[in-house]
Structure 1
Amino acid sequence: MPDPHYAEPRLARIYDALDADRSDLVAYAAMVTEFGARRVLDVGCGTGVFACLLAERGVEVVGVDPAEASLAVARAKPGAGRVRWILGDATVLLPPLPPIRADLATMTGNVAQVFLTDDDWLATLRGVRAALRPGGVLAFETRDPARRAWEEWNPARTHTVTEIPEVGRVESWCDVLDVSGPLVTFRQTYVFAADGAVLTSDSTLRFRERGEVGRSLREAGFRVEDVRDAPDRPGREFVFVARAADV
């Protein structure tokens, strides 16, 4: 079940305005050129920012996401008609769905951390593997647990007030609710000045160690080719580049 800030229509409609800095996508767009990708699978595509960006550049894109509200926002964007949108998680890409044969699959925005159990994570990787052509590439980011990013997820560091056209002023902030081993649960609060509505979204992310991620990729049929730094967040993320291994 997607978290409310993706699945609740009122929150999905303001998601892009509250997350306006998408400089993280620059590195992924560059990978499209680096790997000569003509067909891209965007897993956890959300409101379709990356998918539509690539479609505008003439890339064939398939966007997959389990949140209908987010996909509704994506489908209304310029260029969205050139994207194939699929409602569901990556396991819908497994047979009997005909293979997509993507050259490159991406999971941007720390999508990889929403899969909390080993079984769910492995099923996701296997779904992506099934959708790639032989030798296709998977690229995704995950936060380095050693940097303890959640220690900055507090109202003092995250409080914002954003004026959104046709919505009005929205105040938002984040609170950590629980840290249990690799699992971090936090709450995002949104206050709409127009009518005083207060909406919350609770989320849990899993922080995997670099070696743990590498082992799971190998188990799912990938060969890790590179672990890069995230240019927009140096020293804070692992950016994995893995190639579908020969069967």
Structure 2
Amino acid sequence: MADECFGHPRLAAIYDPLDPDRSDLDAYVRMVEEFEARRVLDIGCGTGVLALLLADRGIDVVGMDPAEASLDVARSKPGSGRVRWICGEAAALPALQADLVTMTANVAQEIVDPASWQQTLQRSREALRPGGLLIFETRDPARRAWEGWKRESSYAVTDIPGVGSVESWLQVTDVRLPLVTFRSTYVFAADGQVLTSDSTLRFRERQEIEADLLAQGFAIHDVRDAPDRPGREFVFLARRPVAHSV
């Protein structure tokens, strides 16, 4: 089930204006170019920012997300007709023979249930062509990012055309490692409505993720730094091996 910040229509509609700097996606665009990928599956595509960036470059893109409200926003954007949008979770992943499967931002960490995580990896592997890559990022638990998720450091007021002023902030509500739960609060000045969204992220150690990937038949191609967040995240590149005939 999608968090309210993605699944509630009013919150999905303001997701992009509240987070306009998506320079974190530049690294994914570069990796698509690096590996000469022509077909990409973007799991947890949200409002479709990466999917549309790639489609604008002539890439065949499938964007998948469990939040219909976020996909509605994606479908409303220019060029959205060039992307195939699928509402669903891992069990609904199609067999695509994709060159690349991506999970950007918090997507991998939002899959907190171990069985669902294993299923996502398994279905991602099945969606790839032999030799294709799964690429995703996850925060390094040792950096304890959640300690900075406080109202005083995250509070912002954003003026959004057609919506008005929106106050927003984060606050951690529970830490039981490897799980961290936090609440996002939104206050709409236009009518005073207050909406909240509770999210839980799973902070996995590097060795745990590598073991999970190997267990699902991947080969570890590389583990990189996130260029815009050096030393804070792992970017995993896992390859579906090419079967060799005997």
TM-score (norm 1): 0.97
Question: What amino acid sits opposite 2:229 in the alignment?
Answer: R
Structure 1 residues 50-82: Cα deviation after superposition (integer angstroms, max 9, x where no partner): 001111111100001000000000001111000
1:220 CA displacement: 1.2
Structure 1 residues 85-134: Cα deviation after superposition (integer angstroms, max 9, x where no partner): 011012212xxx4x211101100012000111211100001111111111
Structure 2: stretches of 5+ with no match in the other structure: none
Question: What amino acid sits opposite 1:52 in the alignment?
Answer: L
Alignment correspondent of 1:6:
6
Alignment correspondent of 2:19:
19
Please state whether the residue corresponding to 1:24 is helix, strand or coil. Answer: helix
Is 1:49 the counterpart of 2:45 in the alignment?
A: no
CA distance in 1, matches of 2:230, 2:171: 24
Structure 1 residues 184-240: Cα deviation after superposition (integer angstroms, max 9, x where no partner): 000000000000000000010000000000000111111111110001111100000
Alignment correspondent of 1:133:
129
Q: Please point out which of 114, 117, 126 is paired with 2:113.
A: 117
Is 1:219 the counterpart of 2:215 in the alignment?
A: yes
Q: 1:186-205 to 2 correspondence within 5 Å?
A: 186-205=182-201
Q: 1:49-68 to 2 correspondence within 5 Å?
A: 49-68=49-68
How many residues are paired up? 243
Q: CA contact under 8 A between 1:110 and 1:140: conserved in structure 2?
A: no
Please state whether the residue corresponding to 1:213 is helix, strand or coil. Answer: helix
Is 1:144 the counterpart of 2:140 in the alignment?
A: yes
Alignment correspondent of 1:89:
89
1:8 CA displacement: 0.2
Q: CA contact under 8 A between 1:224 and 1:242: conserved in structure 2?
A: yes
CA distance in 2, matches of 1:156, 1:102: 43
CA distance in 1, matches of 2:81, 2:216: 32
Please state whether the residue corresponding to 2:58 is helix, strand or coil. Answer: coil
CA distance in 2, matches of 1:243, 1:90: 18
TM-score (norm 2): 0.97
Question: What amino acid sits opposite 2:69 in the alignment?
Answer: A
1:36 CA displacement: 0.7
CA distance in 2, matches of 1:238, 1:156: 27
Please state whether the residue corresponding to 2:2 is helix, strand or coil. Answer: coil
Alignment correspondent of 1:32:
32
Q: Please point out which of 104, 124, 131 is paired with 1:108.
A: 104
Please give the root-mean-square deviation of Cα atoms over the aligned residues, in Å: 0.8
CA distance in 2, matches of 1:10, 1:197: 11
Question: What amino acid sits opposite 1:7 in the alignment?
Answer: G
Alignment correspondent of 1:156:
152
Percent identical pairs in the alignment equals 66
Structure 1: stretches of 5+ with no match in the other structure: none
Question: What amino acid sits opposite 1:139 in the alignment?
Answer: I
